[in-house]
Amino acid sequence: MAQRFGGKYSPRPGAPTPGFPGVAPDRLPDPAPRHRLAGRPAWLVFAAFPFLFNAFGDGPLALARNLGAFATIGLAAFLLREGLKAEAAWDARKTARRPALPRKALGSVLLGAGLAAGAQAPELGLIGTGVVAAVGLALGLIGFGLDPMQDKGMEGVDAFQQDRVAKVVAEGEKHLTALREAIARIDDARLTARTEAFAASARGLFRAVEDDPGDLTAARRYMTVYLQGARDAGVKFADLWAGNRDETARAAFESLLDDLEANFTARTRALLESGREGLEIEIEVLRDRLARDGVISAPGSDL
DSSP one-letter string for 133-178: HHHHHHHHHHHH-PPP-S-BS-TT--HHHHHHHHHHHHHHHHHHHH
Q: Both 129 and 184 in a single domain?
A: no
User: What are 152's strand-pairing partners?
Assistant: 96
Residue 24 lies in a domain: no
Q: Both 204 and 279 in a single domain?
A: yes
Residue 120 lies in a domain: yes
Q: Residue 140: which of 40, 12, 271, 257 has the closest Cα?
A: 40
- What are the CA-CA distances from residue 133 to residues 51, 59, 113 (Å)? 16, 24, 6
The answer to whether the CB of 299 falls within 8 A of the CB of 287 is yes
Q: Is the pTM of this model over 0.85?
A: no
Strand, helix or coil for residue 115: helix
Could you give the CA distance from residue 3 to residue 103 in angstroms, rounded to a whole number? Answer: 64
Sequence-separated (6 or more) residues with CB below 8 Å from residue 292: none
Residue 242 lies in a domain: yes
Could you give the CA distance from residue 5 to residue 60 in angstroms, rounded to a whole number? Answer: 70
Q: Both 168 and 196 in a single domain?
A: yes
Residue 3 lies in a domain: no
Residue 8 lies in a domain: no
Residue 295 neighbours by CB distance under 10 Å: 9
Pick the last residue of a domain from 98, 121, 144: 144
Q: Both 199 and 269 in a single domain?
A: yes
Residue 98 lies in domain: 40-144
Pick the last residue of a domain from 144, 168, 189: 144
Could you give the CA distance from residue 207 to residue 213 in angstroms, rounded to a whole number? Answer: 10
Task: Return averaged pLDDT per consecutive 10 residues of the chain, 303 residues in all.
Answer: 45 40 38 74 88 79 86 93 86 73 92 86 74 90 87 62 82 91 89 90 86 79 88 90 85 89 87 62 56 56 49
The answer to whether the CB of 140 falls within 8 A of the CB of 108 is yes
Q: Both 169 and 210 in a single domain?
A: yes
The answer to whether the CB of 99 falls within 8 A of the CB of 145 is no
Q: Both 166 and 130 in a single domain?
A: no
Q: Residue 210: which of 282, 153, 279 has the closest Cα?
A: 153
